[in-house]
Amino acid sequence: MMSRFEVGRISGIPIFLDMMFVLILILFSFRYFIAGDGQLFSAGIVIVIGLLLSILLHELGHAFAGRLFNAHVSHIELTGIGGVAHFARSLPPSVFPRTVIFLAGPAVNLALWYGLDFASASAGQAGKPMLAFALAQLASINSYLLFFNLLPAYPLDGGQTLDAWLGKIVGAIPAVKVVGTLGLLVGALVALISLPDNFFGMLIAFFLLQTNWEALQSAGGWSGRRR
């Protein structure tokens, strides 16, 4: 059974949609579709499409920034925990291009946040309250995506950027140990905030804890040698 399928190409980059991403979208927007209100139903559709596009544009931000430094993306995958831009080869070792590539995604969310917030205010002034509501929700989602992705944890953009800078200053292995440790703290905090009934939050927390623990172990743990 196929767990993902290609939905198209943008500027030559294949875009794959994971079925888990579809399930998360349905769970996220379910309350809008069962409210029995036609306007809320329409708002739910706008929010679902807007969320998908926000995550896709975030990954395209990485992809187009990578092209500036001859680092090309082989494909983009929209998964149950967000999006992933898969680079065809290793990123440039220099700190500046890595920083630009990693922060290009959050920069897109920043632009979307302010743009959607402005569009929401305009829709409200035009007497379209439900459209204003949907756009305000999307603005809020993009603010969340911005700040979440800037957290100092693997594989988030903030963690990758911190790794690039620390690696230049203290070396690759100590950098992994620092970011991996911070990532475990971030994962624990996300888990604590998600208790007792935020399943998606707990899923994200588990993913962060697992990813950062594996990174830490690959660097030899807190005091051991690298494996």
User: Are residues 53 and 68 located together in one domain of the fold?
Assistant: yes
User: Are residues 118 and 207 located together in one domain of the fold?
Assistant: no
Query: Does residue 226 surpass a pLDDT of 70?
Result: no
Report the predicted TM-score, pTM, of the whole model to 2 decimal places. Answer: 0.92
Question: Which amino acid belongs to residue 76?
Answer: I
The kind and range of the H/E element at 18 are strand 13-18
Residue 224 lies in a domain: no
User: Are residues 55 and 124 located together in one domain of the fold?
Assistant: yes
What is the phi/psi pair of residue 77, to 5°?
-125, 130
Confidence class for position 200, pLDDT limits 50, 70, 90: confident
Write down which residue in 150, 183, 208 finishes a domain: 150
Count how many domains the chain has: 2
User: Are residues 203 and 129 located together in one domain of the fold?
Assistant: no
Write down which residue in 102, 130, 150 finishes a domain: 150
- Ranking 37-46, 154-163, 170-179, 206-215 by mean pLDDT, the lowest is 37-46
Q: Indicate the burial class of 42 (C-beta count within 10 angstroms; 0-12, 13-18, 19 or more).
A: middle
User: Are residues 156 and 96 located together in one domain of the fold?
Assistant: no
Of the candidates 82, 144, 79, the residue with the CA atom closest to the CA atom of residue 110: 144
Residue 189 lies in a domain: yes
- The per-residue pLDDT for 182 is 98
Query: Does residue 35 surpass a pLDDT of 70?
Result: no
Average pLDDT over residues 128-140: 94
